[in-house]
Structure 1
Amino acid sequence: MSGMDINALLLTVKLAALTSIILIGISVPLAWWLAHWRSPAKSIVLAILALPLVLPPTVLGFYLLISFAPDTWLGQSWLALSGRQLAFSFEGILLGSVIYSLPFAVQPLHNAFEQLNPRFVEVAKTLGLNRTQQFMQVILPITRGSFFTAAGLSFAHTLGEFGVVLMIGGNIPGETQVVSIALFDHVEAMAYEQAHALALVMLLFSLCLLTVLYRFNSSRISLWK
């Protein structure tokens, strides 16, 4: 495996890890709010959040690329703050990954919060716990499995990104060239041995990640039975 391939692997893991961390921070309050929001518009909001599940990645990537252009308010704001353009940068593919993987983090948390028995929170209130204590001491232990699911699915989904990253970031080694793009380059160049090595590493890594995730969730279900 070449040094460029190793750099692509490291960049992919970095992208997936940062995306998962950011998504947990965003998804927890968003999922909690959605679980307790009662409005006819809720189905529309849930549908918008779930769009990345059904939209072709290139469609989402195309509109994000337009939004990140230097002549848009978002592109201009980022350029003024950082001195770098948002499109064709690591920050750009990170923001795109957060949007693309958002439903994989929100949905497990939303389902867990919706199924949470409100009596647990009511009892916590009678014991004098404030909201932070209620969340940390009551809600989090009960719904902890959904947090691991949300983080694990977000991480795994980001590992396999191709269309969104290619549209937003192009193919810049060390900056935006993730494993899926490096693999595509090897196949285009008919370097099948290098392509096989990259594909096998990602296959084994993804399989191990999902196995650990399913094993953890099975253990949690057994404990609560």
Structure 2
Amino acid sequence: MILCMTDSLLAPADIEALWLTLKLASVVTVLLLMISTPLALWLSHDNTSQTRDRSKVKGIVQAVIALPLVLPPTVLGFYLLIAFSPNSLVGQFSHAIGLGSLAFSFSGLVIASMIYSLPFVVQPLVNAFNAIGPRHAEAAATLGAGRWDTFRYITLPLARPGFITAGVLGFAHTVGEFGVVLMIGGNIAGETRVASVQIYDHVEALAYPQAHTLSAILLLFSFAVLLWVYARRPGNAEAKAWL
């Protein structure tokens, strides 16, 4: 019965918006995991062996990464929109390599979403690498293992829970974007109109049943993600029992 109600309330445009949202979140999550891994490794290194100048640089990098946590999405979207304009260096470079205009395009959404969701991927990885500590790497080095072998066979398996958490949080955060997406992508059907923008359109048109359906889907998805993340924390036996 619930499935029939959902089918009747979800228009083809709603399904298209959901599919585009999943596509955007998947691409962003994969790219963020690739970029965030070396960045998190560098940020997780012990500061006792670093110079004061390098520690200051690390503090600046951490502050820049964390900016999306406190910055209004419209502010971030506004400056990215300026950066993506055809007359900017980024805009000229994107045209030179054949990407065309990044503003109001799916490629622009990917870049903006990566910046917006970066702290949700980097921080779990930093926590995972810090939890491992240097002891395993030092033991592997004494046995003649190189850096790549140590990372591949020791660090990566031990940090697997952190990678899973980072991927889930990055994916979920991208799914829930609105302000940055609307500023950078606008509202182009099949190109930049994701689920959050589609809900906004339904509300503007007073199509509350359709807005309720899409909102309920995102609400249930968000709750499931948070339940999964909290259930993976040590000592949460009650939450694990639900999964």
* 2:68 maps to 1:33: no
Q: CA deviation at 1:143?
A: 1.4
Return the alpha-carbon distance in structure 1 between the equivalents of residues 116 and 203 of structure 2. Answer: 25
Q: CA deviation at 1:80?
A: 2.5
The answer to whether the Cα contact below 8 Å between 2:169 and 2:225 also exists between their aligned partners in 1 is: no
Return the alpha-carbon distance in structure 2 between the equivalents of residues 41 and 76 of structure 1. Answer: 29
Deviations 1:64-86 (A, max 9, x none): 00000011111112123225211
Deviations 1:35-54 (A, max 9, x none): 22632332222111100000
Mind listing any 5+ residue stretches in structure 2 that lack a counterpart?
1-9, 238-243
Q: Pick the aligned partner of 1:56 from 58, 67, 72.
A: 72
1:42 aligned residue: 58
1:18 aligned residue: 27
Aligned residues: 221
The answer to whether the Cα contact below 8 Å between 2:230 and 2:236 also exists between their aligned partners in 1 is: no
Mind listing any 5+ residue stretches in structure 1 that lack a counterpart?
none
TM-score under structure 1 length normalisation: 0.92
Residue type at the aligned position of 1:73: L
Deviates more, 1:83-92 or 1:200-209: 200-209
Residue type at the aligned position of 1:18: V
Deviates more, 1:74-83 or 1:26-35: 74-83
Return the alpha-carbon distance in structure 2 between the equivalents of residues 219 and 143 of structure 1. Answer: 19
Q: CA deviation at 1:146?
A: 0.7
* 2:63 maps to 1:66: no
User: Residues 81 and 219 of structure 1: is their aligned pair in 2 closer, same or farther, counting only changes over 3 Å?
Assistant: farther
User: Residues 220 and 203 of structure 1: is their aligned pair in 2 closer, same or farther, counting only changes over 3 Å?
Assistant: closer
* 2:207 maps to 1:191: yes
Residue type at the aligned position of 2:165: T
Q: CA RMSD in A?
A: 1.8
Return the alpha-carbon distance in structure 1 between the equivalents of residues 76 and 115 of structure 2. Answer: 9
Q: Pick the aligned partner of 1:176 from 177, 188, 192.
A: 192
Residue type at the aligned position of 1:13: L
1:3 aligned residue: 12
Return the alpha-carbon distance in structure 2 between the equivalents of residues 26 and 83 of structure 1. Answer: 20
Return the alpha-carbon distance in structure 2 between the equivalents of residues 81 and 211 of structure 1. Answer: 42
The answer to whether the Cα contact below 8 Å between 1:11 and 1:178 also exists between their aligned partners in 2 is: yes
1:82 match: secondary structure: coil
Q: After the TM superposition, which residues 107-118 of structure 1 pair with which residues of structure 2 at under 5 Å, given as runs?
A: 107-118=123-134
The answer to whether the Cα contact below 8 Å between 1:145 and 1:217 also exists between their aligned partners in 2 is: no
* 2:218 maps to 1:209: no
2:122 aligned residue: 106
The answer to whether the Cα contact below 8 Å between 1:145 and 1:220 also exists between their aligned partners in 2 is: no
2:97 match: secondary structure: helix
Return the alpha-carbon distance in structure 2 between the equivalents of residues 180 and 33 of structure 1. Answer: 34
Q: CA deviation at 1:218?
A: 4.8
